[in-house]
Amino acid sequence: MTLITCPNCGEEENLDGVIKGEPGQETITVTCGSCDLSWVRDRTPTCPTCAATDLRQAARSIVEKSRGTQLSIQAMEVVFLCPACDAADLHTWNQSNTPLRPREMPVDGD
């Protein structure tokens, strides 16, 4: 998850965003509830580890238990992989072109 903070006061939670614009050209204007600063959020994907912006788009599966211990793909999520920090996942994606394995597997709710 991308962490958004106010560039003026550092607030992380009391933020409000409004999306405007035509599909594909949307902008997100964020307003800080603590200091009232408003800014347009940069939507460029950035690596949370090294801050690189040269990321590659891939798909990761989301699985849930459907019967007993059987796992079923329920959805896909778009992920952005950093060539340096996510090299193993990026190699797997480039070789197979199939969704990456989930980061977390479902657990029993017993």
Which domains are delineated in the chain? 1-43 (2.20.25), 45-110 (no CATH)
109: confidence class by pLDDT, cuts 50, 70, 90: low
Band of the pLDDT at 71, cuts 50, 70, 90?
Answer: confident
- Mean per-residue pLDDT of the chain: 87
User: Helix, strand, coil % (nearest 5) of the chain?
Assistant: 10, 35, 55
The reported pTM is 0.62
Q: 13 or 70: which carries more pLDDT confidence?
A: 13
Q: How far apart are CA 53 and CA 84, in angstroms?
A: 11
